[in-house]
Structure 1
Amino acid sequence: MNALPPIEAENPCQSCGACCGYSENWPRFTIEDDAALDAIPAALVNQRLSGMRCEANRCAALSGTIGQATACTIYALRPEVCRDCQPGDPECLMARRKFRLPPLPAAITD
């Protein structure tokens, strides 16, 4: 079995980012309170104020290259939908498939 690069072994999301580029409808606000929403920079919120602004399907808060090295520029302020997507969960695997990324190894998802 091939060893994972150190960044993927430590935090697979930082070498993936697929969930942040899956759909412009995915990073929508759901249960955030007003204070949490006010903390997100207005330039990163869509015109309907219903979720994160996306360029095509990619969240405007995502930096880097999907499948190589990524980071959320507002990680500490990210909406609940972003917090809920966990490495190896069904949503993660669906997003990874879209970008033709392999499923995460069981050691990371357990």
Structure 2
Amino acid sequence: MQEIDLSSCCQSCGACCGYSQNWPRFSIESDEELAAIPEALVNDRQSGMRCEGDRCSALRGEIGKMTACGIYDVRPEVCRTCMPGDAECAMARRKFGLPVIQSA
């Protein structure tokens, strides 16, 4: 299996940000945290990030090549908790045909 550098894998991936329009949901964010997210990037239901198809509108770059979050410092909790090699990461990477990360 291909070895992947965990320190930079998210920036060369972005699969979790393009997995599903239902993925970047708001859950435990405070009102102040939600207010910090630009309104144009919040969906019409105010329940999560606005998406273009399945892709979060805050995602910059090309999935599987080089990506970045346009609101990294104020991203939702679900984005903060998705970790390289966890079940959600593996599921998203499979969707895009990327190798699963072995974190241990």
* TM-score normalized with structure 1 length: 0.89
In the alignment of these two chains, the number of paired residues is 104
- Give the letter aligned to residue 38 of structure 1: A
> 2:62 and 2:71 mapped to 1: Cα distance?
16
1:18 equivalent in structure 2: 15
List aligned pairs for 1:18-57, cutoff 5 A: 18-57=15-54
- Residue 102 of structure 1 pairs with residue 99 of structure 2: yes
1:59 equivalent in structure 2: 56
2:75 equivalent in structure 1: 78
> 1:34 and 1:2 mapped to 2: Cα distance?
42
- Give the letter aligned to residue 65 of structure 1: E
> 1:85 and 1:9 mapped to 2: Cα distance?
13
SS of 1:14 mapped into structure 2: coil
> 2:89 and 2:3 mapped to 1: Cα distance?
20
Change (3 A) 1:47 1:93: same
> 2:52 and 2:100 mapped to 1: Cα distance?
25
Matched-pair identity in %: 64
Q: Point out which structure has higher relative CO (alpha carbons under 8 A, 6+ apart).
A: 2
Consecutive unaligned residues of structure 2, counting only runs of 5 or more, are none
Deviating runs (4+, > 2 A) in structure 1?
1-4
The structure in which a higher percent of residues are helix is: 1
